[in-house]
Homo-oligomer: A and B are copies of this chain.
Amino acid sequence: MTMNATPGTPGSGTTEAPKRRPTINDVAEAAGVSRGTVSRYLNGGKWVSPDAQEAIHRAIRRTGYRANQHARSLVTGRANALAFLLAEPQDRLFADPTYTPLLRGAAEALTRRQMTLNLLVASTPEERENVVAYMAGGHVDGAMLISSHENDPLLDLLLSHGIPVVSCGLPLGRTDTVASVSVDEAGGARAMVAHLRSRGRRRIAMITGPLDQPGGRYRLQGYREELGADFDEALVAHGDWGRESGSAAMTELLARAGDIDAVFAASDAMAAGAMATLRRAGLRVPDDVAVGGFDDSPLAVNLDPPLTTMHQPFDRISAEMVALLLETVAGGEIKSVILPARLVVRAST
């Protein structure tokens, strides 16, 4: 019933419009109501009579209607999309297995909310400008900033443009002005050191990440705290997260202190490099030197021996990032969430 098309249309017979996307007007017509009512139905359904709801529901099914996001965004000013913003230089990202599960988790969390994830890469200063201009252009409602450094110019740019941001990892220097989700870096480091000690190790070295990043700074801090009086400056070397740097740092450590019986690397990749150096030096893992990592990346299980490491709950991190960012966009207050890391014991310790 009421299968009537718009009357008075100059006809090419039966089906005159081959495949035009149905609009809200088509739905309204099919349901016998006005587009205002359909619009209200779509946005919460308040102040719509049960009869109308039923009719509209069926009309939508029948027509296969889906709202045009562009039209919607134009009038509301909201994009229904979030940016996943990668700010690392190329070389690192290529080898970094860390953000893959984050990305995936974020995409899923957004899909569930009928929103979109836009992937943006800002390695160079030029790309940085582009990306910020893009975001300030209203294409997205907010940004998940993945790997931030202390006093990151990108973060400043975003904030100065009033773009809602949630940082993955505590944003050094801006802890109270930016929402963030991070793993308990210091706590994780302490747990690893405690584990190594429980294995009877006494000369525990550390290979840190860059100290201008939270993962670099706080994992070192946890290591230092847990060791307390046993802390020895000579047992600390610095890396850049990557495998090669771990290898180099291990060489340096061995030169400085021959009696090392354990190493805690702030990333699995650096742990892999350290293990290669140890092997080359004729030292066995874990018999002579135990090795612990951080991240629990896919890499860890492929090493020989498989690597003991701190597991990061990437799925929870990404889910929290999305939730927090949406809160921020909605005008909520700035919050920070810290999630626990979990020790995963394998054969390397």
Contacts and interface: CB of A to CB of B under 8 A. Distances in A.
Nearest to A21: B138
Interface in A65-103: 66-71, 73-74, 79, 81, 84, 86, 93-95, 97, 100-101, 103
Given A21-B138, A70-B79, A138-B70, A108 B95 contact: no
A73 to B, nearest CB: 4
| Max chain B C-beta neighbours (<10 A), residue from A21, A86, A116, A269 | A116
Contacts of A94: 100-101, 104, 298
Interface string A116-139: 111111000001001101101111
Nearest to A66: B137
Nearest to A139: B69
A220 to B, nearest CB: 24
> Which of A70, A131, A276 has the most chain B CB within a 10 Å cutoff?
A70
A119 B303 contact: no
A101 B90 CA distance: 10
Nearest to A78: B70
Chain A interface extent, by class? 35 or more
A74 B74 CA distance: 8
Given A117-B118, A120-B107, A127-B111, A66 B136 contact: yes
Nearest to A298: B95
Contacts of A269: 302
A209 to B, nearest CB: 17
Nearest to A103: B119
A134 B111 CA distance: 10
Interface in A53-74: 66-71, 73-74
B74 A71 contact: yes
A243 interface: yes
B302 A68 contact: no
Nearest to A315: B94
B131 A66 contact: no
A325 to B, nearest CB: 16
A304 B301 contact: no
A95 B296 CA distance: 12
A135 B279 CA distance: 52
Contacts of A138: 21, 68-70
Interface of A: 21, 66-71, 73-74, 79, 81, 84, 86, 93-95, 97, 100-101, 103-104, 107-108, 111, 116-121, 127, 130-131, 133-134, 136-139, 243, 269, 272, 276, 279, 298-299, 301-304
6 contacts: A68-B74, A70-B79, A86-B104, A117-B119, A243-B301, A302-B302
List the 4 shortest-distance A-B pairs measured between CB atoms, nearest first.
A70-B73, A66-B137, A70-B74, A70-B70
